[in-house]
Amino acid sequence: MLDSTPSTVADRVALKINPAKTCQPVGAVYAALGVHGCLPHSHGSQGCCAYHRSHLTRHFKEPVMASTSSFTEGSSVFGGMANLTQAFSTIFEMYDPDIVAVHTTCLSEVIGDDIPTIISKAREEGRIPEGKVVVHCNTPSFVGSHVTGFSAMVKGFVKYLSENTGTRSTAINILPGWVEPSDMTELKRMVAAFGLPSIMLPDTSSVLDAPATGEHAFFPKGGTTLPEIKAMGDAKATLSLGTWASLEAATLLETSCGVPFQELDLPIGLAATDRFIESLRGLAGVDVPAQIEDERGRLVDVISDMHQYLSGRKVAIYGDPDHVIALTEFCRDMDMKPVHVLTGSVGNAFETRIKDLLADSVPDANVKAQGDLFLLHQWIKNEPVDLLLGTTYGKFIGRAEDIPLVRVGWPILDRVGHSYFPTVGYLGSLRLAVEIISAIQERQDRDAPDHAFELVL
């Protein structure tokens, strides 16, 4: 269905075709779901909230709960204060959350609704019960992406709740970035292996990968608790994983609470996980546990054994900037050639970082921030690749150009398992490496003539 995409690349400034991102409020909802007892609230039209919920539901194959201010024509003209204050009354009466996380939309941002003032008025009127918490962040859809919306919501939790009591704890803060519930579980496992107490924000494990028990729980057992978010201000350090999704909250924790932070890439792949493990080793003051060293060794073993299938393979990588940076480094380290690298999010730092990573191996790679999949398809028409690495949306390019796709990142709408099996750490990277190798071998089998169709590859 994309067979008619032209190969001639033309400059486009005001037009995006099949953008490699979606809007900020989606990220705000996902971040809020990682807080225990939290109900995300969309301050805008009912249609916006329905889209955000359905898109997340399609990825996680789990029901995603959120409320909305349900703007009508009147509120679109005169403002949404009445809608939001009434929403607070309804939410706490019907659903009784511990916390409501309000995010704005295009409509409420254009109107100019002052959310902190509305929250204060609602509390004065008794619409927010004693002991209940309301936080907010600004997430207009006409700027940024779902990643920046996620970042804004995490920063909002820190701004409203984290406190420095003057007594430092031994815990470390983990800001995991936009990753799967399975990745958050794996990150906590690796941190615990060093004997480090930790607080993760957000934490969607046991929320969006919760088991079926036969009983419905409106607020699942998982998520970062309010006392834990408050205690983040007393932690001894923060590990910020992914610049786009986590750095703002880490910076705020340092400036407002004096918690120093280390900025790291998402620990996907060998080198990025090595840096994460080295940070944990330094904070814990212990040697790397033998279990972790063994996991690293298995990843190295598989990459070494399968090098003949990986070496020189051209790959196109697209998706969220934090994911794409880590995936690009991983592919480079496996001796693959990332010739096309693209994200839909903004930021000159993305292009600079990718070009630095590929300076020695693929110096002429196509790299683009705030790009779209139409451009990626045009690049591929001019220089074909052996593999696509990214979200479900790339399947149309894969079909048009007959290229295998390994699904990674968000969203994955047409497969299952990503919520349950990690991509981060040595174990997650091993799984991803096996998927990449298997895709290449499947293609080799499919295309092999009879005389070369081997039982053992």
Look at the alpha carbons of 437, 440, 446, 452 in this order and tell me if their dihedral is positive or negative: negative
Q: Contacts by 75-83 with C-beta closer than 8 Å and gap 24+?
A: 76/45, 76/107, 76/111, 79/111, 79/112, 79/113, 80/43, 80/44, 80/107, 80/108, 80/111, 80/113, 80/118, 81/113, 81/118, 81/121, 83/43
Of 106, 135, 385, 424, the active-site residue reads 106
Of 110, 286, 300, 416, the active-site residue reads 110
DSSP-H helix ranges across 80-223: 81-94, 106-111, 115-124, 146-161, 181-193
Structure letter (DSSP) for residue 134? E
Asked if 364 contacts 307 with a C-beta cutoff of 8 angstroms, the reply is no
137 is catalytic: no
288 is catalytic: no
Which residue type sits at 345?
A: S
The DSSP secondary structure of 62-99, one letter per residue, reads S----EE----HHHHHH-SHHHHHHHHHHHHHHT--SE
Q: Alpha-carbon distance 28 to 48, whole Å?
A: 13
The DSSP secondary structure of 350-394, one letter per residue, reads HHHHHHHHTTTT-TT-EEESS-BHHHHHHHHHHS--SEEEE-GGG
Q: Alpha-carbon distance 71 to 105, whole Å?
A: 11
Asked if 375 contacts 403 with a C-beta cutoff of 8 angstroms, the reply is no
Q: In a 10 Å sphere around its CB, with 0-12 CB exposed, 13-18 middle and 19+ buried, how is residue 356 labelled?
A: exposed
Sheet holding 67-68, edge to edge: 67-68, 38-43, 99-104, 133-137
Q: Alpha-carbon distance 137 to 398, whole Å?
A: 37
**Active site residues per annotation:** 106, 110
